[in-house]
Amino acid sequence: MTRPLIPGIIAMAAIVVASNILVQHLFGQWLTWGAFTYPFAFLVTDLMNRFYGASAARRVVLAGFVAGLLCSFVGTQIVGEFGPLVTLRIALGSGLAFLTAQLLDVSIFDKLRAGSWWRAPLASTLIGATADTAIFFTVAFSAMLIWIEPGNDVSWATEALPLLGVGPIAPLWVSLAVADWGVKLALAIVALVPFRLIIQKFHPAVI
């Protein structure tokens, strides 16, 4: 059963590694380049779920989680201008967010798999992506969780600013989360195109 999953495992690991690298580079004021690559992890999970079932999809998720742990470990060893590239809170938030969101995606997809072809991937990705954003940014930057890593100064992320530069006053990390969430929702819709094309080619009976 493991051998057919190798393409999915490789794709998931590649996305996780690429996203961990690209998250270090800004795209505009509110996003990083990693925001545009990571959401495709949900596409990989959904394809594996469609082809091989929920159990197989969870194995692919686990592979991605391990890749993420390795990236976080490497990041903690690299010191940038403001300290380690990956802090304990970022590593913890990233791991919890990935595992929770992806397993939620697997479960929801599995429950909806018998419906219209687009319903399972869209609903599971939207809900999973929302959970991912909420968990990561809250754990990594919320002032309420400063006790997780007291020595990590996240005051820059809690600075009160207009939401996305135009809305009500909110901590900076909330603007970052909302922008990230918006990209994930948009890409959830875009990802329906490759999902349908791949399913049509390799599993046309479900379309």
In tens digits, the chain (207 residues) has pLDDT values of: 567 889 999 999 999 999 999 998 999 999 999 999 999 999 999 999 999 999 999 999 999 999 999 988 888 887 766 667 789 999 999 999 999 999 999 999 999 999 899 999 999 999 999 999 999 999 999 999 999 999 888 999 999 999 999 999 999 999 999 999 999 999 999 999 999 999 998 877 666
The helix (run of H) or strand (run of E) holding residue 73 is helix 54-77
Reported in sequence order, the residue ranges of 30-97 that DSSP labels E, i.e. its strands, are 31-32, 79-80, 83-84
**How do the domains of the chain map onto residue ranges?**
3-206
pLDDT of 93 reads 96
What fold, for 3-206? Answer: Arp2/3 complex 21 kDa subunit ARPC3 (1.10.1760)
pLDDT (0 to 100) of residue 108? 98
pLDDT number for residue 73: 84
Which pLDDT value is given to residue 1?
A: 52
SS3 32: strand
What distances in angstroms separate CA 42 from CA 33, 55, 133, 191, one per listed residue? Answer: 17, 15, 13, 9
Q: What share of the chain is helix, strand, coil (3-state, %, to 5)?
A: 75, 5, 20
Question: What is the model's pLDDT at position 24?
Answer: 87
